[in-house]
Amino acid sequence: MGMRTRKDVQRYLILRPVSVTSSAGQPQLSAALKERARQEGFDPVGIACLPGSSRLQMRTAALQRWLDAGFQAEMGWMAAPRRLDARTLLDGARSLLAVGLNYYVSDSRQPNSLAIARYAWGRDYHRVVNQRLRRVGRWLETQRPESRWRVCVDAEPLLDKAWAEEAGLGWIGKHSNVIHRQRGSWMVIGHLLSTEDLVADQPAQARCGRCRACMDACPTDAIREPFVVDSRRCIAYHTIENREEQLPELIKTGMGPWVAGCDICQDVCPFNQKELPSSQDPEVQPRPWVLDLSAAQVEQWDPATWDQKLRGSALRRIKPWMWRRNAASAKSVDPPTLFSSEIR
């Protein structure tokens, strides 16, 4: 599919009037807010109240242990103190709307091509989710003029996966991604902090059980224990964040075809194995080149080509020299663990 236009997106999003009376209670406002979010293409949606349940406190403590172990590698921003308390991000915050945007499409990359993580096949999700949530926030202002809100998408210092779990979007799997029972883990998440007292949904219940498919499939053993990913061993981290001239030998040995992120732990998840709905959202459809990329093509990228191919993409974080570095180390066949009999 080619570049998406604003008209493509407008045709996809059907915006019907959603309103509540000024005297309506918070249950009505909460329901209307979630419906307005669904009109922006978000599904699932849920609400949580601040400061959160005891589970949220458990996730916060787990973050500190993860940081103390050095598993964040060079991602120093993960230690931002405000990440420990969402109330510091918006004065008077009392609740948040959590949303998921399904990015799974049924397209597949060509055999023997280099691999790019699915979340980055389409337009930069930071922009997509931010723009749509801001429209939801402006709608909330029309219903409650005195309310204040703030959008948080990934880069903001919010414990986003924990809050998505708290709002009932899904549970955090052993690979650290949020899993929805029907939609699997192929979704990006965003949050709208609000000063309104909204009605919270039930937190999601974990359903991984004894399954360890993601742990067994990781070719670099990055999932050190359930729910704990060591970024220093993670292919996704090194292909996107590592600014060193050379990748570690462990990563080179295990990366297979992955040059921009890695989906191995999600590919093998049982909740992603069943037939999933393929998103028709124009902004998550793959750019044709991401499904048929070769090392020879990457080697020929000059700055202008890089700029043209990655305009409006989350993958601009990977600079041209990093693409060449990654492609030079990648192999155009999948690592053995991905299709091993133990995890099928």
Which residues are annotated as catalytic?
154
Provide the token pair at 38. Answer: 């669904």
Would you say 235 and 222 are in contact if contact means Cβ atoms under 8 Å apart?
Answer: yes
Would you say 245 and 252 are in contact if contact means Cβ atoms under 8 Å apart?
Answer: no
CB atoms closer than 10 angstroms to residue 216: 15
Angle of the 125-143 helix axis to the 26-39 helix axis, nearest 10: 150
Whether the link from the prior residue into 51 is cis, omega within 30° of 0, is yes
Distance between CA atoms of residues 341 and 243, nearest Å: 35
Would you say 13 and 131 are in contact if contact means Cβ atoms under 8 Å apart?
Answer: no
Provide the token pair at 57. Answer: 């406190």
For 248: left if phi > 0, alpha if psi spans -120 to 50, otherwise beta; the answer is beta
Would you say 284 and 101 are in contact if contact means Cβ atoms under 8 Å apart?
Answer: yes
Residues 6 or more apart from 90 whose CB is under 8 A from it? 148, 149, 150, 193, 194, 195
Distance between CA atoms of residues 310 and 127, nearest Å: 14
Distance between CA atoms of residues 324 and 86, nearest Å: 39
